[in-house]
Structure 1
């Protein structure tokens, strides 16, 4: 499978300029620049129909389900090829339309609905308790102090365990080998 390469706007414009202004063939410009003649032809068609805007990248564009349905129905009614439909509706890639057709065939118009991407949120976050302006009671103060002291003790225990493990590792390295 061939690696998909992204070409920047200036490169596309330069290649199209060579075809249109210097009267060179698409094939010769494509071979010279190491690109597919099909890609160059697509860029040329978009440039002729939409101008410089037709060459701009349209990454991750979301289309409405009504638009998708309109594209599919227009292709069927007017017997358009995928390339012609892309040009007519300013869709950068025919693979997008192929996916829409596949989903429409399998699920109907429900398959064309926008679905959020990514994993759904599964964790709920606890909201921080609002601090009241009332002063704490003596019992609440003692509970907070007790909790703080427990956390300090736990921290010191873990630190001590790490230090002992490190010392044990050092002692093991320095022990002479005996038979």
Structure 2
């Protein structure tokens, strides 16, 4: 969530653009904010007008990120300047995109799956047993036998582990 309302940002920009007060440092001191923030808001206002202060929730695809990085390199712009041109609210993310691109190319800019990763890979599925045993080859039957033996051994070890943990100190009965 934004720290300052859109109305407050408009008031600061109008105050700066009126020219009555001297420079961004003076406007920042009057409104008790950082002078870099004033410059950023003024640049956004000049490029995008009223749309600069609307709420924006965006996810950028790899082509857009690459377009931003190419403009930054070709025009020799800073992250803050490129963010103002493309209306990206967090200029710091452009530096992250640049490091990702430098280390891994366009594939590094692709969005990653969100959420918690799967802890344990899914177990392998036993060979298809819908065919009758007479029609299957000897290798297929041996592969299924090996799979079933491994599964059986795993379940026996799991059962032994559960049994070894369950005997605890006997509880005393209350009187």
Relative to the length of structure 2, the TM-score reads: 0.62
Q: Give the match for residue 90 of structure 1.
A: 87
Aligned counterpart in structure 1 of residue 65 of structure 2, from 63, 68, 78: 68
1:33 to 12, 31, 35: 31
Query: What do the CA deviations read for 1:76-134 (whole angstroms, capped 9, x no partner)?
Result: 12211222211222212220101101111111111100113221467xxxxxxxxxxxx
From 102, 106, 123, the equivalent of 1:105 is 102
From 56, 60, 68, the equivalent of 2:54 is: 56
Q: TM-score, normalised by structure 1?
A: 0.60
Deviation at 1:22, TM superposition (A): 5.5
Q: Could you tell me which residue of structure 2 aligns to residue 11 of structure 1?
A: 8
Instruction: Give secondary structure in 2 for the equivalent of 1:14.
Output: helix
Report how many residues are paired: 122
- Displacement of 1:23 in angstroms is 2.6
RMSD: 2.5
The residue that corresponds to 2:162 in the other structure is none
Structure 1 residues not aligned, in runs of 5+: 123-164, 172-179
2-side partners of 1:73 and 1:23: how far apart?
38
Answer yes or no: is 1:20 the counterpart of 2:13: no
4+ residue segments displaced more than 4 Å: none
- Matches of 1:36 and 1:112, distance apart in 2: 32
- 1:23-62 C-alpha deviation (Å, 9 max, x unpaired): 3232112112211100111000111111110122324x20
Q: CA deviation at 1:5?
A: 7.0
